[in-house]
Structure 1
């Protein structure tokens, strides 16, 4: 029988056979006292069936009471550590260059973390006092993971990344193979407490067919990369560790359910139904519209020229979010105007004559820039990030807008340009003036609740807005998006978040302002119709999710979308909102 099928068209051609009548290593029924079904937070819809794969053990941490190094060995030991960290950073950069989109961005950020001056300095200071390099690596990491955890917000997300860097450096120091996810012999379900970007970004979706984690949230790096790969994903699953390796499980990413050792006939039924959905979805080629002809542009999220050219083959009508951070991360000096112009032109060329929305630099917080240091902040997620970086470093924004204008002139295309972290109409006005002075189309991100509440005033200053639902959800619910205990709060189905989106959508309808969504919520085929019902006019998502979103919209009238939105907003928790929308969209 088929080991897996998903209802995501990007996965429909990756079917493999597994004989479920024969045990796979330690496969079998759940252990005594264990439930046969686990539930978590649904992130990426789709159905996958196969054996559980757990990552290999991480390196053993050295004892903290190791003997002190003699004075004459300390310099060499410090050099050994610095070289090991540099090797790890180079490997991560290599993977970033071979990747695209969100995967390239997070790998580049992790590579920068491996050579963070504060972390390197803390470790080398310990080595200079006689601490062996492995022990110093662990101690320096503990210092910064404690700091990141205390800061919370997006900085807490860096804890998993830094622990991954620590383990890779330890392996390099000890001459061991690089830790990570093994390549399975058969298509498998990857389960883990959490997954670092270096693990998820390099996955082969024909071998790892779904991701399930005990930690994490719906907008974590794992979730974002799972969308890019087009594989089902469920996060924040309690008791996940109880599932033995090689146990056959059925993962439903749309419902957030893991069925442990399911009945083979039931599994075959799920596989067959998923195959039918995948086939129907794969036939959708756009453009986006509802069943009664209401246009809804389905666009792509990209991060560089490589991902843009790949996205151009998907059924999308342009780019709704071009993240520009990749040009700035892991650098000791700012990219020149010429360097930026070449990058932006590559993306514009990939979508010649189509809509391209470029987001200006969203640095700060979890994406610090070595060449633009800021003061230490008690809570960087609420600090100098996004458009706020233009106050201490105005040249960053000026150079970027000049480069976008140059790329536009060279390609005879007029891109739409939007700023992140806009909170007031005055900020929108200032940014719009700078964009218009260069002949570009100005817009802003709505991801701060204040901007959503005063959306009409903001819209009076710009030509379009785009909802960044990842940050809008985090800031609305005052919940760290990486906290597994708060995963339900960071769910974009939260009625409070939907209410803010409705406020923005209504303002857009009254003023005739286009309202897009470019957060992870736009990739959910069930949530997409609700967003349209709330007044959203375009949806930008990972290219792998575009067909599923467009296909879902094409079967529903605009009135049905509005009815589903009204039903979801009338509830008081995300599970109820999801169920209410489902009842309207798919009545039994």
Structure 2
């Protein structure tokens, strides 16, 4: 009998190997001796922070696209002059270099965490910089992924952005973290790289370096000290899955040819060329925030036109759905948002920002229209965080005024999912953002790892809302897609097809597994399966339904 730990399935696949634990951050005692030479301590603190920034810059130079954007943002945060002022004040107050760094960063981290949302998430970036600078000041090993020979399973509390962007799938066989949910940064990066991962696994704290474990990212289990038979079995399953994925290509469809479009989530213009080369039918979600974040003023119409054009150029003749600016709780933009909202997640975000700043939205729609005219992609536009049919109608009219023919909205608010029929009467299509829809349905902050179970896309209430939207879309004869992380789950793909979802949008690496999963069933089988899953009382039961249905289908 193999001892299994349970967590949240984050990235499908299976792998076994020795544990390599992330090097922990340094821990400073609360008491210290005042430095004899404050000038020397300030020089040491400055040198340590410079070393941490130089390391980040070196890492940023080796990546591109969204990964580089993440790193560049972290570097910019580390170069904030107020941090160095705070360090100097700490040294002047009698603190040694490492303690001065800790205290200066602590104030900024606390401020970001208090704001929450996007800035709250960026607090983790600051903590990572702080820990690296403290380690440098003390002459200790840098926290993060240690340099080791051979392949391994990476285990730790969580993985910092500076480490996730450099994960090497050739060495990192699997990932297990104690914190995090299925929509965490670690989970998203693991899926993008095709590395099996289990997150939110509290039992991982007891795993030791060198201990052999087997990670099943599809079921969310971690086998401790598995025997050879167990390892051989999961390796055979992984090999069989790889062979199965390679056997399918082209448009997404069920076994009997019922179409389910397989689209991509694109987060920047930087990776557009590689995205366009993928075997997918277009873009289901083009996030435009990359143009607005970390700026003090809005990009011009021409800047936006050029950036959108970079993506549209690669997807000639294919569908591209562009989401207008999704600023707000999880993506703070100084010229679009205010910092004083008591509850940013429920404040002026998404489409509401466009209502508050009509010039910002109008400029973006103009740029999209111009870029669409420059290229022959099938361009569509949708608004985020729509809550009412009136908002949907207002956005449709504004987009039409700018010459955009195909207009849709995101379904991310339970109110919108409940009144999907009325919303679909106003627009041409809808796309369900399961990440936020889960968050609002279960009143569970998607950034809080301990609530990961509630954010599982297999939750019955979430699937019931998806079913309601899909039924409304079928009734209206209009497309309904999914562009949240749930779309990348192969187990849910046939369920969504059975509910009537017409497209699934995901990262490039997730497409082969989703395509293969759809090929396992006819559309009628998908409908039967969907009905059985909707009747399940909880997540484990829903997953078991699919496992048993699959076994019956094979028999």
Report how far residue 105 of structure 1 moved: 4.8
Structure 1 pair 559/99, CA: closer, same or farther in 2 (3 Å)? farther
1:346 aligns with 2:310: yes
Could you say which residue in structure 2 is the equivalent of 1:380?
A: 344
Report how far residue 454 of structure 1 moved: 1.1
Q: Deviations over 1:81-107 (max 9, x none)?
A: 5x8667756764665565456534543
**Range with bigger deviation, 391-400 or 129-138:** 129-138
CA distance in structure 2 between the partners assigned to 1:97 and 1:514 by the alignment: 41
Report how far residue 177 of structure 1 moved: 6.5
Aligned match for 1:361, one of 325, 340, 358 = 325
CA distance in structure 1 between the partners assigned to 2:352 and 2:35 by the alignment: 46
Structure 1 pair 397/176, CA: closer, same or farther in 2 (3 Å)? farther
1:67 aligns with 2:34: yes
Q: Deviations over 1:132-188 (max 9, x none)?
A: 553243224434544555666666544433321211333455676754312442121
Structure 1 pair 407/66, CA: closer, same or farther in 2 (3 Å)? farther
Could you say which residue in structure 2 is the equivalent of 1:468?
A: 433
| Preserved CA contact (<8 Å) 1:193 1:214 | yes
1:241 aligns with 2:221: no
Report how far residue 66 of structure 1 moved: 4.9
Matched ranges for 1:320-335 at <5 A: 320-335=284-299
1:300 aligns with 2:264: yes
Matched ranges for 1:446-461 at <5 A: 446-461=411-426
1:257 aligns with 2:224: no
CA distance in structure 2 between the partners assigned to 1:161 and 1:314 by the alignment: 31
CA distance in structure 2 between the partners assigned to 1:575 and 1:156 by the alignment: 31
| Preserved CA contact (<8 Å) 1:319 1:355 | yes
Could you say which residue in structure 2 is the equivalent of 1:524?
A: 489
Structure 1 pair 372/66, CA: closer, same or farther in 2 (3 Å)? farther
The alignment's TM-score, normalised by the length of structure 2, stands at 0.91
CA distance in structure 2 between the partners assigned to 1:191 and 1:203 by the alignment: 13
Report how far residue 59 of structure 1 moved: 3.3
**Range with bigger deviation, 329-338 or 258-267:** 329-338
Structure 1 pair 110/170, CA: closer, same or farther in 2 (3 Å)? same
Give the secondary structure class of the aligned counterpart of 1:320: strand
Give the secondary structure class of the aligned counterpart of 2:393: helix
Gapped runs of 5+ residues in structure 1?
A: 1-33
The alignment's TM-score, normalised by the length of structure 1, stands at 0.86
CA distance in structure 2 between the partners assigned to 1:467 and 1:433 by the alignment: 21
Q: Deviations over 1:117-144 (max 9, x none)?
A: 8767765665665655532432244345
Gapped runs of 5+ residues in structure 2?
A: none
Report how far residue 437 of structure 1 moved: 1.8
Could you say which residue in structure 2 is the equivalent of 1:283?
A: 247
CA distance in structure 1 between the partners assigned to 2:458 and 2:425 by the alignment: 28
Report how far residue 192 of structure 1 moved: 0.8
Report how far residue 376 of structure 1 moved: 1.6
Give the secondary structure class of the aligned counterpart of 1:415: strand
Structure 1 pair 348/193, CA: closer, same or farther in 2 (3 Å)? same
Give the secondary structure class of the aligned counterpart of 2:155: strand
1:513 aligns with 2:491: no
CA distance in structure 2 between the partners assigned to 1:120 and 1:534 by the alignment: 55
Report how far residue 558 of structure 1 moved: 1.1
Structure 1 pair 459/270, CA: closer, same or farther in 2 (3 Å)? same
Aligned match for 1:499, one of 452, 464, 484 = 464
Report how far residue 65 of structure 1 moved: 4.2
Could you say which residue in structure 2 is the equivalent of 1:405?
A: 369
1:433 aligns with 2:400: no
1:550 aligns with 2:515: yes
Could you say which residue in structure 2 is the equivalent of 1:58?
A: 25
Report how far residue 330 of structure 1 moved: 2.5
Report how far residue 563 of structure 1 moved: 1.5
